[in-house]
Structure 1
Amino acid sequence: MAVNSFGLTVISSADEYRQRVAHQAERELVDLAALIPGLVLDVRYATARNLLGRPAYQQARAFLRRPVAEALARVQEALGRLGLGLCIYDAYRPYSVTVQFYEHVRNEKFAAPPWRGSRHNRGCSVDVGLVERTTGRHLPLPTDFDELTPAANSRYADLPPHVLFNRSILLAAMKRQGFVNYVDEWWHYDHKCWSDFELLDLPFEEL
């Protein structure tokens, strides 16, 4: 465990991470696709279709700390009763990638600064949309993922009724399982337990 130039403690050793998981199983970063049936992955940061314009990840995978992943599984189960499911755009994000985002955007509203780190780096934040369970078709929501416009705000109201309805379904389903929406991004949710977990800077390949 090391303290970086911003005074943050960030775990970048896979061995140290595994030791912590062995001591406390809930610290494990769980592969969401393996845990949650019917989950759709659209991991934009493994492609060039993102705010950086280039891939930030080598693998299109999504991980969350075990209690957060299990809460998300309950969201998926509840949505399934409505014929809907979750689409995952991003989940755990290595700290070094957050630094890249901030250097590109230079706006704390849309990118966590390196002197604070992101709740994504703790494995406790997830970026989500909605799909039809049978077809995988994306439901209309206010904007595309990572579209940094006023319409991305969760209180933005100048939208078609069906889009507002879809956003409200997502918000209610996530809230019931302990997720709190970040108001400037309709897709971003933090789990209430985020402060229990440390910042990580481990690439997916080491998990």
Structure 2
Amino acid sequence: MKLRHARWIAACGLFASCAPRLVDVEALPRPPVLDVRYATTDNFTRTKLYPLPKVFLHPDTARALEEVQSDLASRGLGLKIFDGYRPLSVQWKMWNLIHDERYVSNPAVNRGRHTRGTAVDVTLVDRRGRELPMGTAFDDFTDRAHPDYAALPEAVKGNRRLLAEVMTRHGFEAYAYEWWHFDLKGWKRYPVLDVGIDQLAVAR
């Protein structure tokens, strides 16, 4: 069911009453492989930011991601997902560590990209769940992570192009500084939430 965004904003704000609106990606017909780094210390903050290794998305984002999965399945590929919805409070923690708007959204400016459940951090995997080479690891905050970085093997550049082509074909926009980051088109219209990952898991 398509949500009316203005009504949702007015009714919910930042409160947990909106929690059931978000979709657990593991409930999708073709769930992506999960690698939720922020539920571990294996991330740029070196701290555990999420209490559970779960990924939630706005229903519109979840539908678009399922279309991507269907498209990739025809090629013998799929997605691995590192992050989706991120509570606003976690976004502030990240920003306080990395004051670089290329790699961490300043919540004082746009309240974050991930906080709406409309952003995804993803990569490509083969049938066995093995990552295709992308030239850098997830959350590599260097020029090599920029999608248009040229000094890479042709196979790597081809993998990046394929990921971007499939994602944009199904309603996402590529991000200029991170090859893994994609936003659902029109993401700024969606409301920001500050509901904990554990609260969302309980609301299932």
Contact 1:43 1:88 in 2 (8 A): yes
The partner residue of 1:122 within 78, 102, 116 is: 116
Counterpart Cα distance in 2 of 1:188 and 1:67: 17
Amino acid at match of 1:178: G
Moved over 6 A (4+): none
Residue equivalent to 1:74: 67
Q: Provide the alpha-carbon RMSD of the alignment.
A: 1.4
Identity of aligned residues (%): 42
Contact 1:74 1:177 in 2 (8 A): yes
Q: Which secondary structure does the structure 1 equivalent of 2:121 belong to?
A: strand
Contact 2:15 2:195 in 1 (8 A): yes
User: Following TM superposition, by how much is the alpha carbon of 1:67 offset from its aligned partner in structure 2, in angstroms?
Assistant: 1.1
Deviation per CA, 1:159-202, whole angstroms, max 9, x where unpaired? Answer: 01110111111000001011001110000000003133111000
Deviation per CA, 1:16-57, whole angstroms, max 9, x where unpaired? Answer: x25xx6xxxxxx210011114251000110011101001100
Normalising by the residue count of structure 1, what TM-score does the alignment of the two structures yield?
A: 0.87
Alignment of 1:93-108 (within 5 A): 93-108=86-101
Q: Which secondary structure does the structure 2 equivalent of 1:108 belong to?
A: coil
Greater share of helix residues, 1 or 2?
2
The partner residue of 2:106 within 100, 113, 118 is: 113
Residue equivalent to 1:174: 167
Counterpart Cα distance in 2 of 1:11 and 1:37: 31
Normalising by the residue count of structure 2, what TM-score does the alignment of the two structures yield?
A: 0.88
Counterpart Cα distance in 1 of 2:86 and 2:29: 19
Q: Which secondary structure does the structure 2 equivalent of 1:129 belong to?
A: strand
Contact 2:25 2:31 in 1 (8 A): no
User: Following TM superposition, by how much is the alpha carbon of 1:109 offset from its aligned partner in structure 2, in angstroms?
Assistant: 1.2
Counterpart Cα distance in 1 of 2:23 and 2:137: 26
Q: Which secondary structure does the structure 1 equivalent of 2:166 belong to?
A: helix
Counterpart Cα distance in 2 of 1:169 and 1:84: 11
Are residues 36 and 150 of structure 1, via their aligned partners in 2, closer, same or farther at CA, if it must alter by over 3 Å?
Answer: farther
Residue equivalent to 1:33: 26
Residue equivalent to 1:6: none
Equivalent pairs, count: 188
The partner residue of 1:11 within 10, 13, 28 is: 13
